[in-house]
Amino acid sequence: MYHHRLVISYKGSSYFGWQDIGTDEHKPSVEASIHQVLKQICNYQVCTIATASRTDAGVHAQGQVIKITITLVIESEKLLLGMNSLLPDDIRILRCEPSTAEFNPNKDSKSKEYHYYFCTDTVYNPILNDTVAHIPSHSQDSTTGSLDIERMQQACKLFIGEHDFYSFAKRDTSMSSTLRTIVSCELLEVPSSTFGNKVYYIKIVGKGFLRYMIRYIAGALFALGRAQLKLSDISDALANHKEAKISSRAKSRGLHLIQISY
């Protein structure tokens, strides 16, 4: 068997997440698309895929890492070119290199970096629709205030360090621990673009994340920015298990897996 390590970029809008969920053609996944292409190249011989991060439906990636195991003898560069010629336009192999059998994309990773992009313009540019969430600075709902970016930036610091993120994740009885370590969490502004939009992103770097954890963190920050939550509400949710979520989950479209460090 031969092993290759790949770095992949994809736009997740048309997919029901990374993971192959079987033969349901109405629920395409990124993994299934890649697996089908691999089978074509390998003449339908055995081929397997191991991934670093199983992104959810609608989530994008600029630096997903996988290891593929195949029976075919082929140079990494030719494999990259062959796969990209067969993959749909919204999935691309950025890099491909030989790997070892022992390499585990998930367990061997040192950190994973995600960005959550959102636009605060009142009128939303439709060009950004699939990849940037719309969180207008001034809400049409009279019960909520204007988005306080400075307050959100202050709140980001609360998530840094080791915390129990039980209150910021989907319930998963198979998970032995909900303790996770966030290395960095900050809110930054995207430099001005030709689209003229006011776009920000929440940058989160950590060793690993629970299901929906980043989207619940983003949702809490948005609620805080609208004065629907206090800083103490977030601190309390980090200190105690909350069965009821303190905020809604942010939409998937704004979330991007940026890079994985080894």
60 SS3 class: strand
Active site residue 121: no
DSSP string computed for 151-204: HHHHHHGGG-EEEE-GGGS---TT-S--EEEEEEEEEEEPPP-TT---EEEEEE
Report how far residue 14's alpha carbon sits from residue 12's, in angstroms, rounded to the nearest whole number: 6
What is the torsional sign of CA 145, 147, 151, 157? positive
Catalytic residue among 20, 24, 56, 121: 56
Nearby residues of 141 by Cβ (< 8 Å), 6 or more positions away:
none
Name the DSSP letter for residue 101: T
> Could you tell me if 131 and 14 are in contact, meaning their C-beta atoms sit under 8 angstroms apart?
no
The residues annotated as belonging to the active site are: 56
